[in-house]
Amino acid sequence: MNTNSKYNLNRLTYFVAIIEEKTITAAAERLGLSKAVVSKQLQLLEEELGVSLVVRNTRHLHATETGEAFYTRSKEALKYAQYAFDTAAEDSHEPSGLIRLTSPIDLGVFQLAPVIAEFCAQYPKVKIEVDLSDEVKDIVAKRYDLSFRVGWLQDSTNRARKIGSFREVALCTPEFARDYSPKTPMDLPSLPFAAYNVIDNSARIFTHKPTPDVKDQDCEVLLNTNLTFNTTLAIREALATGRYFGILPDFTVKKDLKSGLLQELLPSWKLREGGIYIVRPPTQLRTQAVQLFIDAVVSKFEATI
């Protein structure tokens, strides 16, 4: 790097914060500085470059076309700079730093929480922030280091690693099964169903488990409901009342199946299988802490799922 450069590279941090926070006031709060300081740094940056990077109005600002391109390159430069500092520090110190991750609620509660607790106890200088949400988050825009996904991934530029699998199970209480006694999937549309609004608004395909008398047989049904949730944990509570059946990932109900609180509604039929994935941003940069955490999660999943 040319140390005699006329550009002040520190201003990249200010600019990235301004674009991501969308106002100078919010950027100043994020950086812990005054609004005047942040505004002045943006002004000086534009003067250094000789171009306008943002368009301002009374309430918001947005990047110009040049500003958008400059933001992308600035963010990448800051990422590499942070990586250089982190890896240099890790050469002589134990793992440290912040890991930000997001996960579906059920996976986070039933599988990840114990791993995260053990990891943080083992590496006290590592801080982990966990956002549990069944909403699929943009890990680049939200600045997550890792995202855990359950189901069926869509194509993207992110890097994904499959660490486990699950199957969907149609479930109910023993009382519900006794009261309604469905024989085939074709009986289900008339039964009370607690739906998961992310995926239960389309037809479901049930496949008969092979037996000496029956080969693979598919049955497609469209389930009806007056009750919809956006988290699988809420569905589990609805099923426990004995008034509804539902479809959940098997790893969320292992204890309930073992205790007898819930049971498979049509044990001779199976639903689709899906994957459990760790998803990372497209960059190949990984701090020591992130890599160690990935290793810990993979080891746990290989042993339990």
pLDDT digits (tens, 9 = 90+) for 24-34: 888 888 888 89
Full domain range(s) for residue 38: 11-85
- In terms of pLDDT, which residue wins out, 57 or 43? 43
Q: Does residue 1 form part of some domain?
A: no
Element (H, E) at 298: helix 288-304
On whether both 68 and 19 belong to a single domain, the answer is: yes
pLDDT digits (tens, 9 = 90+) for 124-135: 999 999 999 888
> Model-level pTM?
0.65
| Angle formed at CA 88 by CA 119 and CA 12, multiple of 5 degrees | 100
On whether both 59 and 191 belong to a single domain, the answer is: no
> CATH number, domain at 15?
1.10.10.10
Closest residue by Cα to residue 45 from 64, 26, 25: 64
On whether both 269 and 296 belong to a single domain, the answer is: no
- The answer to whether 159 touches 241, Cβ cutoff 8 Å, is no
Q: Does residue 185 form part of some domain?
A: yes
Q: What is the Cα–Cα distance from 275 to 280, expressed in whole angstroms?
A: 16
> CATH number, domain at 269?
3.40.190.290
Q: Does residue 224 form part of some domain?
A: yes
On whether both 104 and 64 belong to a single domain, the answer is: no
pLDDT digits (tens, 9 = 90+) for 80-105: 777 667 666 555 567 888 999 999 99
pLDDT digits (tens, 9 = 90+) for 146-204: 999 988 887 677 889 999 999 999 999 999 999 999 999 999 999 999 998 877 666 88
